[in-house]
């Protein structure tokens, strides 16, 4: 008996018409467009897939980041995150994420020089930032200022020019820490500290944040390395909400500054990069270990309304590998800064949650945001800055995904379909003839 390899396809029968089609499977996916031939009549638009929140839809092919959510694996360009966190610098990892290979010694030197010499921002950017209110959230300032960069570099519109793309990539990665630090200093009324080109990417960021009157700021090497590791862990995370925003916005071929401003805005939300800020606020609110059982109870009884922030992930159904690295690093940081008193609450919260049927059943484990905030806080970053600290390193991932998308011949402007459930066609009625409908249409302006 000869055994033949199974056909890489699925057979779909449309029970409305009896029509059967064979749909090829490639890379574990079928093309949604292949279903369009299933129609009930020639006028029928054809069968679509319905997938709110992209729960089971791959929106692109990518060679940048691999995640196995069940096993808790995260690799950039094939390299496990743990190895990169241990052995590389953030800029080396950013180079890898952007270019596909680790740099040679010479490439690394050139890359670091390139970034270092683009950290300054135009004086008008400083003026623009001065215009924000004293209590402006730094994430709002960051998003707006990055969007404003678009007006300083109009040549960035040439998104199909590889050299132009490279230039904007360097500028954006280089200027993110400068803008982020300026946003912080604006909030405390300090004069902006200019970049110091003698320092590393992270060392210089700490300098721009914290330098006071000293002639030369020397970053603490343990804290500088901790920030480096946190930045490596946050460099990319495949098609998350903000990366999807970056790709969707940039698919209109707008310049990368406008697209990145959109990605920063997406990251700001509490269900995404704003979660580290939310974790800290939650730990403050819990206040002591004694209050943890009552808090867990309120989470479970809220029907999803109150969440254990820093827990759960759309992709990870296991311990987030980034959270593991961060948890392991916390000790070294606390040796320098003194222990963050909220750590004990966090550890106890994790211990209780990981024994609780509610969290186990739903595969809710600590994610990257659960411990990062504790380290940031010990390093004296204000809570408002936490999402900003996420956005700085994620810029390399957004840009790598953007660069990949621009070169991908299969991509077009992102434009999903919808299932329309609204009113069928009707005609205009003047005010005097309008009646209050018994069941008013749903809408924010509708008062019942």
Catalytic residues, by residue number, are: 272, 313, 369
Residues 337 and 223 sit within 8 Å (Cβ to Cβ) = yes
Contact window for ligand ACO (CB under 6 A) among 122-130, 258-266, 366-374, 415-423: 366-374
Range 282-301, binding ligand ACO (CB under 6 A)? 299
Q: How far is the CB of 216 from ligand ACO (least distance, A)?
A: 35
Is there binding between residue 372 and ligand ACO (CB under 6 A)? no
Is there binding between residue 349 and ligand ACO (CB under 6 A)? no
Report the residue from 271, 294, 336, 360 that binds ligand ACO according to the rule CB under 6 A.
271
Q: How far is the CB of 412 from ligand ACO (least distance, A)?
A: 27
Is there binding between residue 313 and ligand ACO (CB under 6 A)? yes
Q: How far is the CB of 363 from ligand ACO (least distance, A)?
A: 8
Q: Which sign does the torsion angle of CA 26, 27, 30, 31 carry?
A: negative
Is there binding between residue 369 and ligand ACO (CB under 6 A)? yes
Is there binding between residue 368 and ligand ACO (CB under 6 A)? yes
Contact window for ligand ACO (CB under 6 A) among 44-52, 135-143, 160-168, 302-310: 302-310
Report the residue from 71, 362, 380, 417 that binds ligand ACO according to the rule CB under 6 A.
362
Report the residue from 309, 349, 389, 392 that binds ligand ACO according to the rule CB under 6 A.
309
Backbone dihedral angles phi then psi of residue 307, each to the nearest 5 degrees = -115, 155
Is there binding between residue 398 and ligand ACO (CB under 6 A)? no
- Count of Cβ atoms closer than 10 Å to residue 108 Cβ: 16
Structure tokens at 211: 């330098």
Of 74 and 406, which CB lies nearer to ligand ACO in the complex structure?
Answer: 74
Is there binding between residue 275 and ligand ACO (CB under 6 A)? yes
Contact window for ligand ACO (CB under 6 A) among 136-144, 148-156, 220-228, 269-277: 269-277
Contact window for ligand ACO (CB under 6 A) among 6-14, 68-76, 143-151, 360-368: 360-368
Is there binding between residue 272 and ligand ACO (CB under 6 A)? yes
Contact window for ligand ACO (CB under 6 A) among 25-33, 147-155, 208-216, 311-319: 311-319
The C-alpha angle 208, 266, 233, rounded to 5 degrees, equals 55
Cα separation, 270 vs 277, in Å, equals 8
Is there binding between residue 367 and ligand ACO (CB under 6 A)? yes
Is there binding between residue 223 and ligand ACO (CB under 6 A)? no
Is there binding between residue 389 and ligand ACO (CB under 6 A)? no
* CA nearest to 113, candidates 198, 19, 51: 198
Of 187 and 240, which CB lies nearer to ligand ACO in the complex structure?
Answer: 240
Of 171 and 322, which CB lies nearer to ligand ACO in the complex structure?
Answer: 322
From residue 167 to residue 206, what is the string marking binding to ligand ACO with x (rule CB under 6 A)? ----------------------------------------
Residues 392 and 176 sit within 8 Å (Cβ to Cβ) = yes
Cα separation, 423 vs 441, in Å, equals 9
Is there binding between residue 317 and ligand ACO (CB under 6 A)? no
Q: How far is the CB of 304 from ligand ACO (least distance, A)?
A: 3
| Number of residues in contact with ligand ACO under rule CB under 6 A | 19
Residues that bind ligand ACO (CB under 6 A): 271-273, 275, 299, 304, 307-314, 362, 364, 367-369
């Amino acid at each position: 008996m000869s055994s033949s390899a199974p056909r890489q396809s699925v057979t779909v029968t449309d029970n409305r018409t009896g029509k059967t089609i064979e749909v090829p499977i490639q890379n574990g996916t079928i093309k949604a467009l292949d279903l369009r031939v299933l129609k009930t009549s020639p006028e029928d638009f054809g069968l679509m897939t319905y997938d709110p929140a992209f729960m089971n839809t791959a929106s692109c092919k990518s060679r940048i980041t691999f995640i196995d959510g069940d096993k808790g694996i995260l690799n950039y360009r094939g390299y496990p995150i743990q190895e990169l966190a241990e052995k590389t610098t953030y800029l080396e990892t950013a180079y890898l994420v952007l270019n596909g290979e680790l740099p040679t010694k010479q490439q690394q030197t050139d890359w670091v020089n390139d970034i270092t010499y683009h950290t300054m921002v135009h004086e008008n950017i400083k003026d623009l930032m001065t215009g924000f209110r004293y209590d402006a959230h730094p994430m709002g300032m960051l998003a707006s200022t990055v969007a404003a960069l678009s007006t300083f570099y109009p040549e960035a519109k040439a998104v199909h020019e590889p050299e132009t793309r490279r230039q904007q990539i360097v500028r954006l990665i280089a200027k993110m820490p400068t803008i982020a630090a300026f946003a912080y200093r604006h909030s405390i009324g300090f004069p902006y500290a200019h970049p110091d080109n003698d320092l590393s990417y992270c060392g210089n960021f700490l300098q721009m944040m914290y330098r006071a009157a000293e002639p030369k700021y020397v970053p603490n090497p343990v804290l500088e390395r901790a920030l480096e590791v946190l930045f490596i862990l946050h460099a990319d995370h495949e098609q998350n909400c903000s990366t999807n925003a970056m790709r969707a916005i940039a698919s209109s071929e707008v310049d990368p500054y406008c697209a990145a401003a959109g990605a920063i805005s997406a990251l700001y939300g509490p269900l995404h990069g704003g979660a580290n800020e939310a974790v800290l606020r939650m730990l403050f609110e819990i206040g002591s270990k004694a209050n943890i059982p009552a808090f867990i109870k309120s989470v479970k009884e809220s029907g999803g309304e109150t969440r254990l922030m820093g827990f759960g992930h759309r992709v990870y159904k296991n311990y987030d590998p980034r959270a593991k690295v961060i948890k392991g690093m916390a000790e070294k940081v606390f040796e320098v800064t003194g222990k963050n008193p909220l750590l004990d609450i966090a550890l106890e919260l994790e211990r209780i949650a990981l024994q609780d049927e509610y969290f186990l059943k739903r595969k809710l484990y600590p994610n990257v945001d659960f411990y990062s905030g504790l380290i940031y806080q010990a390093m004296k970053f204000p809570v408002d800055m936490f999402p900003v600290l996420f956005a700085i390193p994620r810029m390399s991932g957004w840009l790598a995904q953007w660069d990949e998308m621009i070169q991908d011949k299969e991509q077009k402007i992102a434009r999903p379909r919808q299932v329309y459930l609204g009113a069928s066609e009707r005609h205009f009625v003047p005010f005097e003839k309008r009646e209050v409908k018994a069941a008013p249409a749903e809408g924010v302006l509708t008062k019942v």
